[in-house]
Structure 1
Amino acid sequence: MKDLFSGEDHIVVALDDVCVNVSCGLHPWERHPERPTRLMISVRLYAPLATPRAADAPIIDYDTVRKRIRALESEGHIDLVESVADRIVESCFTDERVIACALSIRKPDIYNETRGAGIDLFRTRARWSAGQ
């Protein structure tokens, strides 16, 4: 991360625990469209802060990412939360100033003994662009 940020100031735009109901999972009980899986998705967008004050920085619109997350509910079954993350990452980089993003996806209802199961993912624009 040191090389990514090179000592520069950054603004981190956050969306916390966006709740959506998505047909997602490999288990047979997760494959019923009438009983979607609840996902809690959090996103961080990292952009260089070129001004001395955050209040003077251009606005990074997180609504694009929120809309993308909500659209997952109508996209049919998705086997893996990793695939869910890939779909969201693209929307994170629609603003050219965003140089990295971090996602957390949790299934809060999958196991009784845990608050949630899922993944965390950190992506840089450079690496994401190279994979397209």
Structure 2
Amino acid sequence: MLSALLHPRLADCRRLFLRNYEVMINIGVHDFEKKGEQRVLVNVDLYIPLAVSTPKADQLGEVVDYDFMRETIARRMAQGHVHLQETLCDDVARSMLSHPSVRAVRVSTMKPDVYPDCEGVGVEVFQVKEDA
């Protein structure tokens, strides 16, 4: 998703990221998937304008806290079973974009244990907040 970095609305942004956050979730459309949790890796990039994320006093309140990403994902996990990774990505992205400082988001999920002959299967979404 290199093209996302070229989006003109991101030129004045910093990128916060969460890499390979491992969660256990009930996900899948097949009957065997509905009987237990699966391991899912979640990646998030948040694009935040420098004007609202450049600390002047070196204080946490001046930036978006990394905990926001983890807590947002945890809230989605707590909602219960989801059939599709696309739904999961869209839900997480929408929640991330609800933060007033976030201009854009990239979310990907990967199920690493589906096939023995590949690293994993997944989906990725990129969304930019509409101008206010």
Task: Please confirm whether the aligned pair reaches a TM-score higher than 0.5, indicating the same fold.
Answer: yes
Contact 2:72/2:96 (8 A) holds in 1: no
2:34 to 26, 31, 34: 31
Contact 1:64/1:91 (8 A) holds in 2: no
Shift in Å, 1:50: 2.6
Shift in Å, 1:54: 5.1
Alpha-carbon separation, structure 2, partners of 1:65 and 1:103 = 10
Q: 1:41 aligned to 2:8?
A: no
Normalising by structure 1, we get a TM-score of 0.80
How much is the aligned-residue C-alpha RMSD, in angstroms?
A: 2.4
Give the 3-state SS of the residue equivalent to 1:50 in structure 2.
helix
How far does the alpha carbon of each residue in 1:49-69 deviate from its partner, in whole angstroms, 9 at most, with x for none? 138x95548311231221121
Q: What is the total number of aligned residue pairs between the two structures?
A: 123
Residue matched to 2:7: 2
Residue matched to 1:69: 73
Unpaired runs of at least 5, structure 2: 1-5
How far does the alpha carbon of each residue in 1:31-64 deviate from its partner, in whole angstroms, 9 at most, with x for none? 11xx21111001000012138x955483112312
Matches within 5 A, 1:1-132: 1-5=6-10, 8-32=11-35, 35-50=36-51, 56=56, 58-126=62-130
Give the 3-state SS of the residue equivalent to 2:115 in structure 1.
coil
Alpha-carbon separation, structure 2, partners of 1:75 and 1:50 = 34
Alpha-carbon separation, structure 2, partners of 1:14 and 1:83 = 21
List 4+ stretches of structure 1 deviating above 6 A. Answer: none
Distance 1:115 1:65, change over 3 A: same
How far does the alpha carbon of each residue in 1:8-27 deviate from its partner, in whole angstroms, 9 at most, with x for none? 33210111111111111112
Moved more, 111-120 or 55-64: 55-64
Alpha-carbon separation, structure 1, partners of 2:65 and 2:98 = 10
Alpha-carbon separation, structure 2, partners of 1:9 and 1:47 = 8
Q: Identity over aligned residues, as a percent?
A: 28
Letter in 1 for 2:125: L
